[in-house]
Amino acid sequence: MFVLLSIKVHAQDLTQHQWENRLIILLCHDPGDVGVKKQLNEFRHFAAGLQERKVLVYQVTPERFKQGWDNPNKWKKSDHLFSKYKSDGSDFELLLIGLDGGIKLREKEPISCEKIFRLIDSMPMRRREMEQNQGN
């Protein structure tokens, strides 16, 4: 029983990504919502830019969550992430979480990857990453 409990807790714990990945968390009541579909479509078109910036996307509803924007059968049952990050009753919310685990952006409407990339690229850790990549 302890093993099952630890697996469940680990699956809901985003701190495993700290210092490794930036996170975008899409919080919504309905993953079929027009705003969610628009945002996920934007991510599909800019997948290489997200990968370059070490961004992982999580979709989170009140009852479940999954990593990524495809794979419809990868949902995991949990209400922990929704209750932890959702700020109000809006239908859509996007959070950008930095490598340090802090919330860097909170939006109530879908936004462009260009805006997300500008913000990430202005962060000191990302600037160091870009400098290191230029040296290679």
As for how many domains the chain has, the answer is 1
- Number of residues that this document lists for the chain: 136
If DSSP states are collapsed to H, E and C, what string results for the chain?
CHHHHHHHHHHHCHHHHCCCCEEEEEEECCCCCHHHHHHHHHHHHCHHHHHHCCEEEEEECCCEEEECCCCCCCCEECCHHHHHHCCCCCCEEEEEECCCCCEEEEECCCCCHHHHHHHHHCCHHHHHHHHHHHHC
Q: Is residue 10 part of a domain?
A: no
- Mean pLDDT taken over the chain: 89
Average pLDDT over residues 1-9: 37
Which residue range is the domain that position 65 belongs to?
A: 15-135
The pTM of the full predicted model, rounded to 2 decimals, is: 0.87
Q: Is residue 4 part of a domain?
A: no
Q: Is residue 60 part of a domain?
A: yes
Residue 11 has pLDDT above 60, yes or no: no
We report the CATH number of the domain holding residue 118 as 3.40.30.10
Kindly report, residue by residue over 13-72, the tens digit of the pLDDT: 789 999 999 999 999 999 999 999 999 999 999 999 999 999 999 999 999 999 998 877
